[in-house]
Amino acid sequence: MRILMVGAGGVGTAITRIAARRSFFEHVVVADYDPTRAEAAVAALGADEQRFTAARLDASDTGAVRAALAEHRCDVLLNATDPRFVLSLFAAALAERAHYLDMAMSLSRPHPSRPYEECGVKLGDEQFARSAEWEAADRLALVGMGVEPGLSDVFARYAADELFDEIEEIGVRDGANLTVEGYDFAPSFSIWTTIEECLNPPVVYEEGRGWFTTAPFSEPEVFDFPEGIGPVECVNVEHEEVLLVPRWLKARRVTFKYGLGDEFIGVLRTLNKLGLDRTEPVTVNGADGKVAVSPRDVVAACLPDPATLGDRMRGKTCAGTWVKGTKDGRPREVYLYHVVDNEWSMREYGSQAVVWQTAVNPVVALELVASGAWHGRGVLGPEALPPQPFLDLLTEYRSPWHMREQ
């Protein structure tokens, strides 16, 4: 397997460190718009690691991505960029007949007149619209294969296969007790993506009604997270699992709730009120005249890079899937989860917990594709594939998952 990985930020760099310990691939080209990031990710692996090379690549340039796939004879494109570049990379992989894997799907667009009641363009709609082309090409586009979405979807499929006869609700619940020393406000993941997820209308699925939207931060609930994290208030957030799970699994309701905390929600609300969450450029005065800048990009530039915060972070992050239903005629409720301690991920890989937890899952998935344990064609979510091989291999990566009866 020869892989073109586009994006050498925190998650991309963590992917290289995890993959370097495995033998399932022949070569990885680490590409980024900023060549110094790609070069740093490769250099950190050491002079003895010859299976990685660095390259400069503009993820928005489909032609350039196609040329890189051809030049390096890559049969897989791994998208480790933010969701803005999904469609260009997705198109390039299809045109070059390469398999494709991402961790976040194509962006949504709210309903023009009823954004908090009806869906407009949903996450991933533009990718699923091309599924027939991927099937015709006999290639796999595995979408949403990070931790959430990704591992959370694998958990949902495992629960449906092994733990329940009927499912009332599948609810992804994400929480952490991470702190960052020296900063009043320092998100542990991309603020660009966080704003996109948290300020867009959240989507909920209900059997008989289909997909619908609610107001941001709706339906607050306190969820008790395991391994010492404890109770965290969680709210509805737009996320891919709600759009993926109902395509393959039968459940009366599907939700995603994120443990943000009052302070984080307050910051996001303020950014929204001031228009600083916007992606459309505004004109400002610069040293050499007027320049156009995206307010959201300015916010991201003003905050520390999450990938650099590992030495200052303390605590754990938990990703998991809560499932409620019946088994053998009796009620059952479980929480399938995966916890990463920042101290462990920094000591073992030099990557902070949130980016490491995201990064390990696409590497596991690629190893399953390389071995043939996972195979398919068309545009598929993680729940379309058998969960047990994934969960077994994740444990082999020294990153076990757990289940708690509620």
The counts of H helices and E strands in the chain are: 14, 20
Say which amino acid occupies 340: V
CA dist., res. 26 & res. 15, Å (int): 15
Measure the CA–CA gap between 5 and 31, rounded to whole angstroms: 6
Closest by Cα among 190, 197, 255, 181 to 221: 255
pLDDT at 269: 87
Work out whether the CA dihedral 33, 34, 40, 43 comes out positive or negative: positive
Using alpha carbons, list the distances in angstroms from residue 56 to 66, 86, 173.
13, 18, 37
Buried b (16+ CB within 10 A) or exposed e, 324-343: bbeeeeeebebbbbbbbebe
pLDDT (tens digit, 0 to 9) for every residue of the chain, 406 residues total? 999 999 999 999 999 999 999 999 999 999 999 999 999 999 999 999 999 999 999 999 999 999 999 999 999 999 999 899 999 999 999 999 999 999 999 999 999 999 999 999 999 999 999 999 999 999 999 999 999 999 999 999 999 999 999 999 999 999 999 998 888 787 877 788 888 878 899 999 999 999 999 999 999 999 999 999 999 999 999 999 999 999 999 999 999 999 987 888 888 889 888 999 888 899 988 888 898 999 998 998 888 888 788 888 899 999 999 999 999 999 999 999 999 999 999 999 999 999 999 999 999 999 999 999 999 999 999 999 999 999 999 999 999 999 999 8
Residues 78, 32: contact at Cβ < 8 Å? Answer: no
Q: Phi/psi at 383 (nearest 5 deg)? A: -75, -5
Nearest to 53 by CA among 25, 83, 29: 29
DSSP-derived pairing of the beta strands 27-32 and 2-6: parallel
How far is residue 286 from each of residues 283, 289, 291, measured CA to CA in Å? Answer: 9, 5, 6
Q: Which residues contact 85 (CB under 8 A, 6 or more apart)?
A: 6, 59, 60, 79
Q: What is the pTM of this model?
A: 0.92
Backbone φ/ψ region at 350: left (φ over 0), alpha (ψ -120 to 50), beta: left
